[in-house]
């Protein structure tokens, strides 16, 4: 069945800031033409501080331009209203969105940095530029998502909405297309954003409630609309809880809880029918009983029966995540125990057989035969084996099957479609996973001169000539995570990637230390991800000293990175940060860091204790983001961390802590405007 409610939503966007321009169309209409074009011509300077780059979104209500903030160089987005949409209601809604989002400060909510009215009377707001995919895009491609991914997404959504509700802001239009995933593979802290507070309700004690609706007027998206919302009745935080429950349901089951053939029918289902259980709707998937109970409580028909606060939803999701982790640890321990038991039984059996064989000459002869046979097997195993690959049909984009003879034509088609879709939507980014490249495909990508950001995850057959061709275009951001690269290919990236600002080689195979050193040629590089690669202190020194403008460096999952590495990382005087998660860093290494460190990921390093954290507090007062799950830090140090003047985000992880101290930590974080995760 199709989705008849889609006209209430605004389509997909790889750069999800486009979502905030309003409903999109294939052509510009008279009522949807750009406003005050002289102010927003690419290359012009708006308000003397925003350099307009291009128009990235055009809808029935608004226009969105991508811009760069001068002096700082930060990518932002400017949203304005169409001249044809300049009604009192549209302007009020625009102002409500700016006021609602502008009053919030949370890593999972799109921030508004500036708001005003031009001399020509057009309202504008300057907000975060959000690259990524909406949750709706991901659900369209994948249907059901993994339980772990869903929990991670919903934890951040609930935390963000609890923050908004605490400020008296109720979103009232929570749905998958208003939730953006900055990254699909790993939903870490800060990896989602909530968009579009255009129909938000802002309330404050002792003041008149501000809202865009009149009594009895229905607003929102029918697939995710609470019963009270569909009837135009009074709404509060529990309205958002119901909508988020619908999103949770769809992520787990692959379908919305209610979907009629018409809008009215869908609204009536929300008011009168109970949804199928998660197991029924997901075609037999098993879920924890606590999760089914949570969904039922979030989607209760009566607001009185519903969970009262988003903070409670957040805490329940965290407890479910902890329970899943504990179950995984128990399963791993049981498997290890069974493995040890099997080894003991095997050893006992071999001992018994040996005793029996020693009693007769016949058995000795048999032993000789067995030994010769085993030796033959071992020798066979030691000989180099030729890899035998089964020839599998290759799925074409139209759903048919291709033989290996037309494999490259299939990849050409895949790339052409990806480029065509990105170009038609005005994107500067495209993503092509699991592709075996040839020179013709590199040429296809290089011919797209509008392409600035390219993601090639788990791809192969990169050659120096192909890299040279690929980087002859205008690519500034290149993500090659998990791809097969050899030394020559990486050196080609270093040689021909002079325009690159961001580069990710995380989990790439066959990358040598020599090739990594060559990356020091990339003088414009600001972000570099070398996670899992063979980065020694010698290699690290070349990279840190050779790339002058680097702001972010990821060294996650590299055991060679230790305390001496910290000494090297501390040498630059520029403001920057890095990920040292799952390395060999200890308290000793933290003493080298100073005031220029603005963010630091230390997860999975058990040799970091309260002593190291206290050193950071004393030497690094400008840290804004700190991650410490999997360390040996105690609540005593956490309370001290919360006093850091610049800190705005803290990920803690599981910790043995009493309820009184836990509440104290939360109260301090709330009073200081610090967002805490996994706690």
Q: 10 Å Cβ neighbour count for 530?
A: 26
Q: 10 Å Cβ neighbour count for 499?
A: 14
Q: Which two tokens stand for residue 420?
A: 């065509």
Reply yes or no on whether 173 is catalytic: yes
Within a 13 Å sphere around the CA of 325, how many CA atoms are in the beta-carbon half?
A: 12
Q: Which two tokens stand for residue 629?
A: 């799950």
Pairing of strands 50-58, 62-69: antiparallel
414 vs 430: CA distance, rounded Å: 12
478 vs 496: CA distance, rounded Å: 12
Write the CA distances from 111 to 106, 160, 306, 390, 427, integer angstroms. 8, 12, 29, 51, 21
CA-based Rg of the chain, rounded to a whole angstrom? Answer: 28
Q: In 3-state terms, the chain is what percent helix, strand and coil (to 5)?
A: 45, 15, 40
Write the CA distances from 398 to 394, 395, 402, 425, 656, integer angstroms. 11, 8, 11, 21, 53
Q: Where are the alpha helices (DSSP H) in 254-288?
A: 263-272, 278-281
Furthest C-alpha separation in the chain:
107
Write the CA distances from 457 to 189, 412, 430, 436, integer angstroms. 21, 16, 11, 11
Answer for the pair 612, 638: CB distance below 8 angstroms, yes or no: no
Q: Which two tokens stand for residue 521?
A: 């040629």
410 vs 415: CA distance, rounded Å: 9
The closest of 124, 240, 179, 165 to 9, measured between CA atoms, is: 179
Candidates 137, 159, 173, 587; catalytic one: 173
499 vs 449: CA distance, rounded Å: 13
Catalytic positions are 173
């Amino acid at each position: 069945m199709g989705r008849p409610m889609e006209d209430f939503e605004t389509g997909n966007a790889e750069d999800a800031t486009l979502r905030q321009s309003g409903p999109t169309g294939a052509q510009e209409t008279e009522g949807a033409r750009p406003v005050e074009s002289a102010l927003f011509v690419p290359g012009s300077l708006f308000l003397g501080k925003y350099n307009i780059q291009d128009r990235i979104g055009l809808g029935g209500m608004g226009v969105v331009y991508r811009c760069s903030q001068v002096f700082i160089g930060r990518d932002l987005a400017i949203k304005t209203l169409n001249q044809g949409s300049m009604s009192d209601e549209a302007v009020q809604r625009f102002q409500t969105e700016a006021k609602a989002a502008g009053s919030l400060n949370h890593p999972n909510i799109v921030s508004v940095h500036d708001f005003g009215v031009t001399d020509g009377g057009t309202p504008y707001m300057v907000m975060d530029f959000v690259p990524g995919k909406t949750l709706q895009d991901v659900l369209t491609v994948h249907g059901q998502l993994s339980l772990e991914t869903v929990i991670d997404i919903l934890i951040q959504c609930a935390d963000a909405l609890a923050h908004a509700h605490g400020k008296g802001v109720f979103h009232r239009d929570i749905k998958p297309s208003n939730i953006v995933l900055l990254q699909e593979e790993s939903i870490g802290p800060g990896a989602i954003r909530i968009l579009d507070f255009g129909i938000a309700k802002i309330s404050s004690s002792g003041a008149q409630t501000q809202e865009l609706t009149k009594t009895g007027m229905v607003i929102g998206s029918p697939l995710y609309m609470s019963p009270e919302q569909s009837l135009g009745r009074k709404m509060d935080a529990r309205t958002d809880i119901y909508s988020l429950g619908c999103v949770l349901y769809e992520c787990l089951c692959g379908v919305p809880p209610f979907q009629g053939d018409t809008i009215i029918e869908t609204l009536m289902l929300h008011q009168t029918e109970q949804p199928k259980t998660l197991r029924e709707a997901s075609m037999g998937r098993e879920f924890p009983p606590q999760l089914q109970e949570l969904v039922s409580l979030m989607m209760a028909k009566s607001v009185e029966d519903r969970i009262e606060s988003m903070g409670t939803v957040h805490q329940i999701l965290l407890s479910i995540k902890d329970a899943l982790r504990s179950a995984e640890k128990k399963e791993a321990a049981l498997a290890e125990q069974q493995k040890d038991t099997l080894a003991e039984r095997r050893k006992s059996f071999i001992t018994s057989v040996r005793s029996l064989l020693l009693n007769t000459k016949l058995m000795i002869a048999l032993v000789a035969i067995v030994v010769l046979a085993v030796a033959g097997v071992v020798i066979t195993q030691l000989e180099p084996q030729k890899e035998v690959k089964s020839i599998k049909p290759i799925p074409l984009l139209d759903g048919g099957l291709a033989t290996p003879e037309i494999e490259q034509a299939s990849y050409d088609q895949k790339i052409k479609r990806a480029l065509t879709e990105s170009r038609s939507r005005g994107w500067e980014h495209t993503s092509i996973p699991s592709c075996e490249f040839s020179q013709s495909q590199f040429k296809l990508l290089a011919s797209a001169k509008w392409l600035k950001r390219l993601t090639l995850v788990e791809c192969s057959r990169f050659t120096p000539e192909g890299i040279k061709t690929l980087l002859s275009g205008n690519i500034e951001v290149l993500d090659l995570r998990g791809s097969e690269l050899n030394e020559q290919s990486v050196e080609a990236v270093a040689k021909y990637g002079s325009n690159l600002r961001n580069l990710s080689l995380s989990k790439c195979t066959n990358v040598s230390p020599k090739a990594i050193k060559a990356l020091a040629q990339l003088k414009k590089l600001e972000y570099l991800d070398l996670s899992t690669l063979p980065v020694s202190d010698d290699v690290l020194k070349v990279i840190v000293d050779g790339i002058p403008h680097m702001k972010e460096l990821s060294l996650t999952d590299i055991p060679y990175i230790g305390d001496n590495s910290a000494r090297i990382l501390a040498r630059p005087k520029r403001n920057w940060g890095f990920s040292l998660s799952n390395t060999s860093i200890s308290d000793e290494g933290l003493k080298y860091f100073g005031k220029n460190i603005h963010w630091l990921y230390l997860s999975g390093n058990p040799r970091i204790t309260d002593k190291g954290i206290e050193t950071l507090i004393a030497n690094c007062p400008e840290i804004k983001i700190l991650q410490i799950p999997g360390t040996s830090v105690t609540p005593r140090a956490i309370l001290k961390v919360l006093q850091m003047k610049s800190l705005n985000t803290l990920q803690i992880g599981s910790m043995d802590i009493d309820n009184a101290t836990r509440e104290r930590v939360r109260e301090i974080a709330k009073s200081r405007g610090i967002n805490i995760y996994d706690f």
